[in-house]
Structure 1
Amino acid sequence: MKDLFSEGSQRYKQARPAYSTQIVKEILKHVPKRNFAWDCGAGSGQFTQLLAPYFEHVVATDISEAQLQQAPYFENVSYQLQAAEQTTIPDQSIDLVTVAQAIHWFDFDAFYKEVTRVLQPQGVLAIIGYGLIQVQDAAINALVQQLYAETLKDYWDSERRYIDELYQTIPFPFHEQAVPELRLEYQWTGQQLLSYLKTWSGLKHYQEHNRNDPLQPISAALQTAAEYLDVTFPVLLRVGIREK
């Protein structure tokens, strides 16, 4: 698993979009037992905090200590520095495994082997993510899409393609359940949009090799844009049940 987000972990926590309770409720429809959950690749706990009210105990793991240090405290949550592919979680002890915006960085075979080991029979795996941002302001949106697809084209890690493909091309060796189409919807200021774009790993790679600021065209356009921008993200959600 790659660690691209330890540096700037506080910015990541502040700038990344928050997940909706609607996502959690859709997942929980498939989870009858709610004793133990494992949030894998938890980062700064963006998804962990939504699980905490529904389970007796949540284990949240990540390979970035800097990210975990940004996570919120809950009495029933244990944050642990562990890789997704090999943990100290006991066999068949987990009712739900979640991975939010992280599975594309994992070694799929090793991770799924670990998930199968720790899940109880009929336990559930939920893969969560969000696709490319869309801005309602057409001019700003065109610049964001150009930044993503043209300016940063050669600077994205190869694993990013799984998000472009809406997580439909990742291996998924579990009994898949039907889920509805969901979106994340926000009203952001221009500064919030820029802060989010600065968390892109492709942007970080670009800045390592170039001196110019690729966000400058967007920054300039925001000077005359509305104070608040309507932005949306398509939710990527796959839910599967471990067979007995």
Structure 2
Amino acid sequence: MTDSPANGPTSGHASETSGAANVPSNWFTGGAEYATYRPEYPTQVSAFLAGLAPSTGTAVDVGCGTGQLSTQLADNFDRVLAFDPSESQIGAATAKPNVTYEVGRAENLPVADGTVDLVTAAQSAHWFNLPEFYAEARRIAAPGALIALVSYGVLRIADAELQERFGRFYYDEIGPFWDSERRYVDEGYRTIDFPFEELDAPELSIDRDLDPEGFLGYIGTWSAVRKAEEAGRADLFQNFSADIVRIWGDNGRPRQVSWPVTVRVGKL
């Protein structure tokens, strides 16, 4: 999903897609660009959650973005209901026969009481009003149902010079344009409020081979980049992009980029 909401959570708050109703739509790129450049979660995430759930009848994916996790859940659950407040994200979502996409907020889900085996929020919970979202998750949960918050952290690229330039951009240059809730993503949701009986989850990562276009395309989807542009600082991303292309060299040969994946799963 996305990267801060107008109404942040209490006791610890997307990415990165928009999970809050009042997030300015121009903080994010269009859904098609988001779908193209955002990394996909490892399939082990959905398989692990399906193995823990009391049943694999229905999963609800909240703040679904363009369906990065929704489509994988569909391989393990009979039905997936996927919601995002952004019409552009839903419009660009990846179709799958057993996935139903709908524009909707995490705090007001059009789902019947006691009917859901799993509720997920991928890279989006830091946007929500957490108490309201958690109340909705409990309302729609079937007996024994689970809730899972999934996030991927700050990337690492397998080249020291590129990594150093990326670090300066992320922390020093674009850093002031991140919303305060972004820290929950950086921390792998470890400090986000999670008032559930928590279960152990495996350590996972997203590993991709990216060329400069794919690497910069992903960074261009960040809300912080959009906000910097609105503040008249488009030069930050432009200069960073020029440096990355220059440092990359080697005719743009793909290099490995990795994101640590965190899954916090609990019993509803």
Classify 1:54/1:3 alpha carbon distance in 2 versus 1 (closer, same or farther; 3 Å): farther
Q: Which residue of 2 aligns with 1:101?
A: 123
TM-score if structure 2 supplies the norm length?
A: 0.86
Looking at structure 2, the residues matched to 8 and 112 of structure 1 have their Cα atoms a distance apart, in angstroms, of 28
- Check whether the contact 1:6–1:66 (CA below 8 A) recurs between aligned residues: no
Q: Which residue of 1 aligns with 2:197?
A: 175
- Check whether the contact 1:134–1:232 (CA below 8 A) recurs between aligned residues: yes
- Check whether the contact 1:92–1:120 (CA below 8 A) recurs between aligned residues: yes
Which stretch of the first structure deviates more once superposed, 67-76 or 168-177? 67-76
Looking at structure 2, the residues matched to 119 and 214 of structure 1 have their Cα atoms a distance apart, in angstroms, of 48
**Partner amino acid, structure 1, of 2:219:** L
Structure 2 counterpart SS, 1:29: helix
> Which of 187, 209, 234 is 1:187 aligned to?
209
> Which of 231, 238, 242 is 2:257 aligned to?
231
How far did residue 53 of structure 1 move? 2.0
Determine whether 1:205 maps to 2:227.
yes
- Check whether the contact 2:212–2:244 (CA below 8 A) recurs between aligned residues: no
How far did residue 32 of structure 1 move? 2.9
Q: Which residue of 2 aligns with 1:140?
A: 162
Q: Which residue of 1 aligns with 2:3?
A: none
Q: Which residue of 2 aligns with 1:60?
A: 82
Structure 1 counterpart SS, 2:75: helix
Classify 1:140/1:225 alpha carbon distance in 2 versus 1 (closer, same or farther; 3 Å): farther
Q: Which residue of 1 aligns with 2:6?
A: none
Looking at structure 2, the residues matched to 205 and 100 of structure 1 have their Cα atoms a distance apart, in angstroms, of 22
Classify 1:73/1:153 alpha carbon distance in 2 versus 1 (closer, same or farther; 3 Å): closer
Determine whether 1:157 maps to 2:183.
no
TM-score if structure 1 supplies the norm length?
A: 0.94
1:36-94 superposed Cα distances (whole Å, 9 cap, x missing partner): 11011111111111011222211100101111111122222211111000112111110
- Check whether the contact 2:112–2:140 (CA below 8 A) recurs between aligned residues: yes
Classify 1:6/1:194 alpha carbon distance in 2 versus 1 (closer, same or farther; 3 Å): closer
Determine whether 1:82 maps to 2:104.
yes
- Check whether the contact 1:44–1:70 (CA below 8 A) recurs between aligned residues: yes
Looking at structure 2, the residues matched to 127 and 204 of structure 1 have their Cα atoms a distance apart, in angstroms, of 25
Structure 1 counterpart SS, 2:161: helix
Q: Percent identity?
A: 34
- Check whether the contact 1:37–1:58 (CA below 8 A) recurs between aligned residues: yes
Specify every segment of 5 or more residues in structure 2 that has no aligned partner in the other structure, as ranges: 1-19
1:22-43 superposed Cα distances (whole Å, 9 cap, x missing partner): 1112222211301111011111
- Check whether the contact 1:147–1:214 (CA below 8 A) recurs between aligned residues: no
How far did residue 206 of structure 1 move? 1.3
Looking at structure 1, the residues matched to 192 and 98 of structure 2 have their Cα atoms a distance apart, in angstroms, of 31
Determine whether 1:47 maps to 2:104.
no
Specify every segment of 5 or more residues in structure 1 that has no aligned partner in the other structure, as ranges: none
